[in-house]
Amino acid sequence: MKNTLEQNPLLKPAQPGKIVEGKIINKTPSALFLDLQALGTGIIYGKEFQEIKERIKNLKIGETLFVKIIDLENEDGYIELSLNQASIELTWEKLREKKEKKELILIKILGANKGGLLTKFSGLPGFLPVSQLSTKHYPRVEKGGAFKVLEELQKFIGKEMEVEIFNLNPKEKKIIFSEKSKENEAIKQLLKNYKNGDIVKGEVSGITNFGVFIKLTKENLEGLIHISELAWQIVESPEEIVKLGEKIKAKIISISEAKIFLSLKALKKNPWEEIEKKYKPGDIIKGKVIKFNPYGAFVQLASKIQGLCHISEFGTKSKMETALEIDKKYNFQILLINPKEYRINLKKLEP
């Protein structure tokens, strides 16, 4: 630590706010006196003394401490010091060094919330977000949403994890950790063997409400197929398309940093490519209502083609749900076709 102070110009003594080293020369029930060599004699007293009273009770004359200068000369002629403030600054400085060096740290998980895991390090609260968990520990829940994720995260309470410092927030006195950063470099090297457009084989290793994780057969890698890339039609649940453990082929559509994104629908014929040959604005077509959402009603027109009857056609959601029933067929008029955006706008016709 002494070498760190000597090398860091911010810690050289001279003015208030700087950190210096002092030797204990006297202790009283209400103050601690330190020899600061050329600077003179320093004192820790008042509130600063009360904050560290328990911490220094076993310290002996002659021991040294790093302290922060608060005032170069108080009313008694002493240099006013703070041990507590110096300790905090040195702790953050040490944490910054660990972050820059990408040093691996062992932390113990003390709690969990739906966003991640709670811990403490160097007396400061720490947080390991779900998004920064390793592939091995990432919670892949099929159903149950945030509650199920929290249930999975609670299994780590009391266990130790090897992590790196991902971010530091001195203002909020908080450390953000990452478990997956230690494996990212290795993954990046493996990803050099792949490019956009490659067809890969893999096994479904996890299913969530937002997509499917695929463990690639060739490498120890895992990619993600977002729910929107599973099929050309609207998918309510990924389990409609794939099953856990199923072996599939997928197409790489994006490689970003240590992540690989895949598509299943890219290997299937796009039903929208020739949609304008089959339908045109003004056509009357029968369709089955399959889903309501805040924007309107989704209508099944063909096996993999859905249109939207916008809520503005009804005025309110309650009026829409009165006029239409799920799984029931109605006559609609096509208002607009946009194949590039996979969109057909519809208007319900009166019987």
Cβ atoms 92, 167 nearer than 8 A: no
Q: What is the pLDDT of residues 108-118, one digit of tens each?
A: 999 999 899 99
Residue 121 pLDDT class (50, 70, 90 cuts): very high
Q: Is 38 left (phi over 0), alpha (psi -120 to 50) or beta?
A: alpha
CATH architecture of 275-348: Beta Barrel (2.40)
Q: What CATH class is the domain 2-90?
A: mainly beta
**Between the CA atoms of 90, 93, 99 and 102, what dihedral angle is there, to the nearest 10 degrees?**
-70
Half-sphere CA count of 72, side-chain side, radius 13 A:
7
Domain boundaries, the chain: 2-90, 102-179, 186-267, 275-348
Q: What is the pTM of this model?
A: 0.58
The predicted model gives 290-316 an average pLDDT of 92
Amino acid identity of 348?
K
Do the domains 102-179 and 275-348 sit in the same CATH topology, yes or no? yes
Q: Tokens standing for 80?
A: 């006013």
Report whether CATH 3.40.50.1010 matches the domain 186-267: no
Cβ atoms 52, 84 nearer than 8 A: yes
Q: What is the pLDDT of residues 56-96, one digit of tens each?
A: 989 999 999 999 999 998 888 899 999 999 998 999 999 99
Residue 154 pLDDT class (50, 70, 90 cuts): very high
CA dist., res. 85 & res. 65, Å (int): 12
Residue 11: what pLDDT? 46
Q: Tokens standing for 58?
A: 């076993």
High-pLDDT (> 90) share of the chain, %: 62
Pairing of strands 174-178, 124-129: parallel
Residue 142: what pLDDT? 61
SS3 call for 188: helix
The predicted model gives 175-199 an average pLDDT of 86
Sequence-distant (6+) residues with CB within 8 A of 187 are: 221, 258
Q: What CATH class is the domain 102-179?
A: mainly beta
The predicted model gives 254-263 an average pLDDT of 88
CA dist., res. 296 & res. 291, Å (int): 9
* H/E element, 187: helix 181-191
Starting at the earlier edge strand, list the strands of the sheet with 116-121: 105-108, 160-169, 174-178, 124-129, 116-121, 111-113
Residue 145 pLDDT class (50, 70, 90 cuts): low
Amino acid identity of 5?
L
Please indicate whether residue 57 or residue 157 has the higher confidence score (pLDDT): 157
Nearest C-alpha neighbor of 81 from the set 11, 121, 29, 31: 31
Residue 193 pLDDT class (50, 70, 90 cuts): confident
The predicted model gives 49-59 an average pLDDT of 90
Cβ atoms 272, 280 nearer than 8 A: no
SS3 call for 18: coil
